[in-house]
Amino acid sequence: MVRSGVLTFGDFTAKSGRKTPYFINTGNYKTGAQAARLGEFYAKCLLEHIPGQVDALFGPAYKGIPLAVATAVALADRHGRDVNYCFNRKEAKDHGEGGTMVGYKLKDGDKVVIIEDVITAGTAMRETLPLLKAAANVEVAGVIISVDRTERGQGDKSAIQEMREEFGIPVYPIVTAREIINGLHNVEVDGKVYIDDRMKAKMEAYLEQYGVKE
């Protein structure tokens, strides 16, 4: 994430208005090698937490689309699991086959896993679930995300905890904010330490103010 420019450190203002010492922008993934490695991380997370039959991966537009494709490729190429994928259009197509869904046509009873980048307030997920239910009576087995910032959502709980309670859907992150701190503290990445003692203190203070217990 650091090498790809996805995880950066400094002084930022999040969409929530919170002042944060680190920022995550998965839109900065842009090479084939990055997509291949990221897809493998998603695939391993999926296989660890949702080991049974999965009929389709769904990638919410827009950032979820390449993530779902990369995960499907990794599952087929590295793990011998050929899994369907699909995604939505932001605007319904009114010509050709029409509709809002692209790729695999969901069927009643399908077990679907949502592939997403991050969940901050859960807004995107609240828009995604009705889309899936409108397409077919599917079972959403879980959501795989790249990072859990482990901070409060709309209330005292994290967006991930709210998703679990509101919809009964488990969310599995590849990595958490605290794992980022522990993994990068005083560790050189290409000759530079990104989380020194000062940055670690700023990140821990931020989590102390806005974080939740994992």
Residues 100-118 as b/e (b if ≥16 CB within 10 A, e otherwise) read ebbbbebeeebebbbbbbb
Residue 84, in any domain of the structure: yes
Tens of pLDDT, residue by residue over 12-71, are: 998 778 899 999 988 899 999 999 999 999 999 999 999 899 999 999 988 899 999 999
DSSP three-state, residue 156 = coil
Residue in the structure block whose two tokens are 């009873």:
109
Task: Choose the catalytic residue: 44, 63, 90, 95.
Answer: 95
Residue 202, in any domain of the structure: no
Residue 97 is predicted with a pLDDT of 53
Residue 207, in any domain of the structure: no
Domain housing 41: 34-187
Tens of pLDDT, residue by residue over 124-157, are: 778 889 999 999 999 999 999 999 988 887 678 8
In this prediction, what percent of the chain has a pLDDT beyond 90? 67
CATH of the domain at 109: 3.40.50.2020
Residue 65, in any domain of the structure: yes
Residue 147 CB burial class (10 angstroms; 0-12, 13-18, ≥19): buried
Residue 185: active-site member: no
In this prediction, what percent of the chain has a pLDDT beyond 70? 93
Residue closest to 2 by CA, chosen among 31, 20, 17, 22:
22
Task: Choose the catalytic residue: 93, 107, 111, 157.
Answer: 93
Number of domains in the chain: 1
Residue 105 is predicted with a pLDDT of 95
The rounded mean pLDDT for the chain is: 90
Residue 107 is predicted with a pLDDT of 96
Residue 123, in any domain of the structure: yes
Half-sphere exposure of 73 (CA within 13 A, CB side): 14
DSSP three-state, residue 149 = coil
Residue 208, in any domain of the structure: no
Residue 95: active-site member: yes
